[in-house]
Amino acid sequence: MAQERANTMMRGGSRYYVRTSGPGLTERLPGVTSLLNCLPKPFLGPWQAKLTAEYAVERMAELFPIALKDPAAAVELIKGAPRRYTKERADVGTFAHEMFEKMAKGEKLRNVPSDMALYRTAFDEFLNRFQPTFVDQEFTVWDSTVGYAGSADAVMIVEGEQIVVDYKTSKSIHEETALQLAAYRHAANIMVDGGELVPNHETVGGAVFHVAHDGSWSFIPAACGREQMDVFEHLLAVFHWDAGGKRGVLGKAL
């Protein structure tokens, strides 16, 4: 049976996966990455401030005449620097993931942009070094009982062990990736043709294939057992609190 991607929708800044579970019945579950956004990210504020300041300084000559004519437009340009950078990196990640999937299937790549060549080289080196057998790629995990869904990159056999693997093209990777892999690994089901649910793949662990901006790569085992899954499930409570559970908890002042 072929794998099928679930439909998704955005609500309140979070992604939900949507599936028709019966005649007139629709199931909507929050996505793994949206749940991970509930984790504190103390580094994010300083990073955004630094990126914004660098953008303003590096483009001072370009921004100065804009600021003289339309200060509000200049402010929008400057404060939007982190958002534009994040969008650019997300586009790179999307292209790289699609390229990795094709390479894993043995398909020939055509019209690869020059700035993506280093990602192709890195994945080719990974394939040659570890000789993985791909069991599944780009599939949707679904867990109605726990209450979440998500898009997993790959399940593969590496050195005799079947593991779930996530691809990262960010500058660095963070420990929360272990929670992401735990969610993919422990989900009850995966989605196949027609939205049917079948049991998830049996895996013994997880790992991250990471390609840095300079093309260097690493393959990093990550703990994604029951302990990490317990932490991920706690994020569900935080997510539902923020998504609506906090409404009405404060009464009128006496």
Sequence-separated (6 or more) residues with CB below 8 Å from residue 142: 6, 17, 19, 29, 149, 187, 188, 189, 190, 191, 197
User: What pLDDT was estimated at residue 3?
Assistant: 57
Rg, Å, the chain Cα set: 21
Say if CB 5 and CB 202 are below 8 A apart. Answer: no
Say if CB 142 and CB 187 are below 8 A apart. Answer: yes
User: What pLDDT was estimated at residue 85?
Assistant: 86
Residue 221 CA to residue 165 CA, distance in Å, equals: 9
Q: Edge-to-edge, what's the strand order for the sheet holding 14-22?
A: 7-11, 14-22, 25-30
Ranges of H-type helices in 6-116? 32-36, 44-58, 60-69, 71-79, 81-104
Q: Is 114 exposed, middle or buried (0-12, 13-18, 19+ CB in 10 A)?
A: exposed
Residue 171 CA to residue 192 CA, distance in Å, equals: 33
Q: What is the pLDDT along the chain (254 residues), one digit of tens a residue?
A: 445 567 898 888 899 999 987 777 889 999 999 999 999 888 888 989 998 999 999 999 999 899 999 999 999 999 999 899 888 888 888 999 999 999 999 998 988 998 899 999 999 999 999 999 999 999 999 999 999 999 999 999 999 999 999 999 988 899 999 999 999 999 999 998 878 899 999 999 999 999 998 999 999 999 999 999 999 999 999 999 998 889 989 999 99
- What structural domains and CATH numbers belong to the chain? 7-38+112-245 (3.90.320)
User: What pLDDT was estimated at residue 13?
Assistant: 87
Q: Which pair of structure tokens corresponds to residue 91?
A: 């586009």
User: What pLDDT was estimated at residue 86?
Assistant: 84
Say if CB 178 and CB 39 are below 8 A apart. Answer: no
Please indicate, yes or no, whether the overall pTM of this predicted structure exceeds 0.85. yes
Say if CB 194 and CB 238 are below 8 A apart. Answer: no
